[in-house]
Amino acid sequence: MIELRTPREIEQMRPAGRFVADVLTQVSAAAKVGVNLLELDALAHRMIKERGAESCYIDYHPSFGASPFGKVICTSVNDAVLHGLPFDYRLQDGDLLSLDFAASVDGWVSDSAVSFVVGNPRGGDRGAADQKLIEATQDALAAGIAAAQPGNKIGDISAAIAAVGHGAGYRINTDFGGHGVGRTMHGDPHVPNDGRKGRGFPLKPGLVIAIEPWFLETTDEIFTDPDGWTLRSADGSRGAHSEHTVAITEDGPLVLTARD
């Protein structure tokens, strides 16, 4: 069921958005060469406890997950792109890391993701390819947000994302994409990363959605890692992921998870 939020409820969602943004900012800053992914999860866990927030991930067990997630942040490295389950791995110089985090504050959820290269980006073709991939997801996110105007439709967001992705030379997987956000992390409507303008659910003031383009460098096929969660590219190429929680308002899109 698709739910629309009142202006007062959208205001009540702002603290969750700020908290999610703050966690991603601090965890990103901590993601240095030699740092263990489990240390990043512990940092996010500590921030949740200090804020009195609730994790959306730790007990999360959808049909596509092998078991409850058990951690509080997704850490996807290199050929992993979504649902990266933190494990005993120390970050290396040049790793492409995607962080995805969702939490509930006072009963309201926000969800956001960011990708970046750890340490010094590798030079040459590798470094250029990583930066192109990351920037494509960022540009696609910005295009999707710009299309999130009252009177438009979900397909306008999807088409805007796809135009950037295809324009950069990437194929697009639509198995996973954006979604409704509110009292729970995942709700209706689904917001695919490819679609046709003018199609789908109308964007009405009060609709709150996560817009999340993710691209793989040379494929649109993925498989699930033996950990039962981490999604990796079928050909070993790298992935990147950008995401914001966005409220549709009378005045246009309001990004609740904007980072300083």
Binding site, residues? Answer: 83, 100, 111, 179, 186, 212, 243
Q: How far apart are CA 141 and CA 7, in angstroms?
A: 24
Q: How far apart are CA 139 and CA 49, in angstroms?
A: 33
Cα 144 off chain centre by: 13
Dihedral of alpha carbons 172, 117, 103, 90, sign: positive
Q: How far apart are CA 246 and CA 209, in angstroms?
A: 5
Q: How far apart are the first and last CA of the chain?
A: 33
What are the counts of helices (DSSP H) followed by strands (DSSP E) for the chain?
4, 14
Which amino acids are annotated as binding site for substrate, given as ranges? 83, 186
Which amino acids are annotated as binding site for a divalent metal cation, given as ranges? 100, 111, 179, 212, 243
Q: How far apart are CA 252 and CA 229, in angstroms?
A: 35
The token duo for 51 is 């804020």
Q: Which amino acid is at 42?
A: A
